[in-house]
Amino acid sequence: MDKPDGKLRAILSMNLPGGFAVHGIKIYENDGGLFVSMPQSSYTAADGTIKYRDIFHPVTANARQKLIGATVSAYHDALQQQEQTKAQKVAQSESPNAAPRDAPIMQM
């Protein structure tokens, strides 16, 4: 994310069995660790306050546990892949035989 010191870590979409897709799942990090937030819509309550309601959510504890587990696992996999990509770019840029990115390619 663009704000590394903010609490929002990722916004993702998930494809589910049966041909369903869910968009807008968010992962936040706080002192207690990672928190997965389901997609929400806002509305104004009778007293004028803004309220939020999940527009998608698992209906059983087992389904919630599976969804959160898969979400957090995918997040960690994406972080690991991002770190590997960065390491590869650093290794390539430090290689003495590597041509600079903007250097012209000559063919003979």
User: With a threshold of 0.75, does the pTM exceed it?
Assistant: no
Domain tally, the chain: 1
Q: Is residue 1 part of a domain?
A: no
Give CA–CA dist 64/75, Å, rounded. Answer: 16
Residue 1, both tokens: 């994310």
pLDDT 10s digits, 75-91: 999 999 999 888 888 77
Give the CATH number for residue 54: 3.30.1120.40
Say how far apart CA 74 and CA 25 lie, in whole Å: 12
The verdict on residue 19 lying in a domain is yes
pLDDT digits (tens, 9 = 90+) for 17-68: 999 999 999 999 999 999 999 999 999 999 999 999 999 999 999 999 999 9
Q: Is the dihedral of CA 77, 83, 84, 85 positive or negative?
A: positive
Residues near 91 by beta carbon (within 8 Å), at least 6 away in sequence: none
